[in-house]
């Protein structure tokens, strides 16, 4: 069986401002780079055979920082792991969206990437990873909305509604019978750093 460790990228300025990022290429800020270093240190104590990452710089930089601590791991950039395209709302805050399109903006056709398209590309990537890495442990560095949608597809029996935190670790064991979640949205590495 293949184990996937999903990691959400470090924080960005747009995260802090509450701006929709989607396919916009927003870099990590200083805190995001520091967070990536903390999750990298945590993961360096574990066995990981490969790192797959979205091509968007906030995820790719997080993955590169992790890869420095896991030099033996194969490194792959895969555009299928990008965040959901946000159409016209990218770069806007909730308040700006309400001002521009009204309270029901989510119900409008604003060019969002359809859910089915996200699942199709995400599951195709997962199938390829499973085929190329049987009985291996693979890190997948990506984005909050993308990981959550994919996770709910992989673990359909339990819907996880909580949004994923920056640099959180979620571990799923892929099996032909039934996928299992061993860890969800864990940020213990950030808490340990704050306590220290």
Q: Which residues are catalytic?
A: 9, 83
**Mind giving me the DSSP string for 9-34?**
PPPBHHHHHT---TTS-PPB-HHHHH
Report the phi/psi class of residue 100: left, alpha or beta, with left for phi > 0 and alpha for psi in -120 to 50: alpha
**Mind giving me the DSSP string for 45-57?**
TS---EEEE-SSH
Q: For CA atoms 170, 171, 174, 179, give the dihedral sign.
A: negative
């Amino acid at each position: 069986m293949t184990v996937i460790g999903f990691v959400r990228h470090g924080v960005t300025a747009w995260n802090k401002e509450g701006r929709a990022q989607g396919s916009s290429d927003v870099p990590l800020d200083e805190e995001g780079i520091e967070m990536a270093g903390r999750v990298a240190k945590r993961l360096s104590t574990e066995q990981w055979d490969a790192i797959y990452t979205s091509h968007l710089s906030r995820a790719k930089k997080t993955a590169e920082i992790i890869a420095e601590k896991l030099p033996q791991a194969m490194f792959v950039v895969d555009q299928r792991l990008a965040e959901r395209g946000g159409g016209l709302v990218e770069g806007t805050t909730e308040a700006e969206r309400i001002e521009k399109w009204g309270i029901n903006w989510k119900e409008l056709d604003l060019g969002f990437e359809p859910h089915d398209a996200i699942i199709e590309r995400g599951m195709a990537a997962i199938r390829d990873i499973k085929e190329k890495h049987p009985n291996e442990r693979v890190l997948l560095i990506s984005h909050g909305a993308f990981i959550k949608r994919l996770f709910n597809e992989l673990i359909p029996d339990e819907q996880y509604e909580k949004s994923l935190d920056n640099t959180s670790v979620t571990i799923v064991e892929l099996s032909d019978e039934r996928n299992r979640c061993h860890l969800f949205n864990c940020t213990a590495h950030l808490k340990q750093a704050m306590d220290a």
